[in-house]
Amino acid sequence: MHLDPQNSIGVFDSGVGGLTVVRALMERLPFEHIHYFGDTARVPYGVKSVETIGHYTTQIAEFLLEKQVKLLIIACNTMAAVSSQVVRDLSPAPVLDVIEAGALNALAATRSRRIGVIGTPTTVNSNAYGRAIHQVEPNARVVSQACALFVPLVEEGWLDHPVTRLTAQEYLKPVLAEKIDTLVLGCTHYPLLKPLLSEVAGPDVVLVDSAEAMAERTAALLTDLNLHTASRTPAEYHFWVTDVPLRFQAIGERFLGRSLSNVHVVKW
């Protein structure tokens, strides 16, 4: 497959959360066109089986490849945790995922090699972050914690709410007891909780935001493959969703930090 630098980057997630990655990409690579896919009809993925997630992931990757994307980004930690190989096997375009980006950034940040990881139950049960970190640093200590309540709290907009603070204190207690110095925010929704999590974790813990890590990795890969667009006109963004877009639009603007247009519904 010929990869054209003028083509778009394909980014996908189970819903609205992957817009944190799109936001980081827009800031880091403002001239790159993006096709974003959010499976809003079937979200959340974080509590679904590996088989189901694999089936959905294949459908989404094939949809974006039909748009001739030059690069596929798995923005969803849950999909990256259990289905990243499925995507790599079918895609003629290069594939990046948030887990490898987050793991590498965590290793760059840690001094003590004691790393905490928080994510959805499926991501944590898969131990994908543990494997990615140990591949590079076998002596690292990785402590993981599933935080199932964070996704609905973020979608509710309770980013600085006493209930969210209490929930975070409860979830982080066992992780912080392990004297970690780095905490990976291993879910698309968690970057929105960064100020609160940073307060709860304290000043000695570095938070690794997988969205920012992803934008850096994307820029580096485009350079390596000579795939940066030459265009200097404003980039075009298209957002594809599987359910009526009202909620996506409202919540999405919070994730993206700007207004959302070009939202299309995919009928499957």
User: Hey, what are 194's tokens?
Assistant: 């960064």
Query: Which string of x and - marks every residue 1-30 that binds ligand DGL (by CB under 6 A)?
Result: ------------xxx-x-------------
Contacts 24+ apart (CB under 8 A), 45-49: 45/14, 45/76, 45/78, 45/79, 45/120, 45/122, 46/14, 46/78, 46/119, 46/120, 46/121, 46/122, 46/123, 46/148, 46/151, 46/187, 47/120, 47/121, 47/122, 47/148, 48/122
Query: Which string of x and - marks every residue 39-78 that binds ligand DGL (by CB under 6 A)?
Result: ----xxxx-----------------------------xxx
The answer to whether 76 is a known catalytic residue is yes
For residue 57, give the 3-state DSSP assignment.
Answer: helix
The nearest distance, CB 1 to ligand DGL, in angstroms, is 27
Does the footprint of ligand DGL cover residue 172 (CB under 6 A)?
A: no
Q: Which residues are 142's β-sheet partners?
A: 115
- Residue with smaller CB distance to ligand DGL, 68 or 249: 249
Does the footprint of ligand DGL cover residue 123 (CB under 6 A)?
A: yes
User: Nearest to residue 14, comparing CAs of 67, 62, 53?
Assistant: 53
Contact set for ligand DGL, span 137-156 (CB under 6 A): 151
Residue with tokens 């949809």: 63
The answer to whether 187 is a known catalytic residue is yes
For residue 263, give the 3-state DSSP assignment.
Answer: strand
Contact set for ligand DGL, span 195-254 (CB under 6 A): none
| Catalytic-labelled residue, pool 61, 69, 74, 76 | 76
| Catalytic-labelled residue, pool 168, 187, 192, 214 | 187
Which residues are the active-site residues? 76, 187
- Note the residues at the interface with ligand DGL (CB under 6 A): 13-15, 17, 43-46, 76-78, 119-120, 123, 151, 187-189
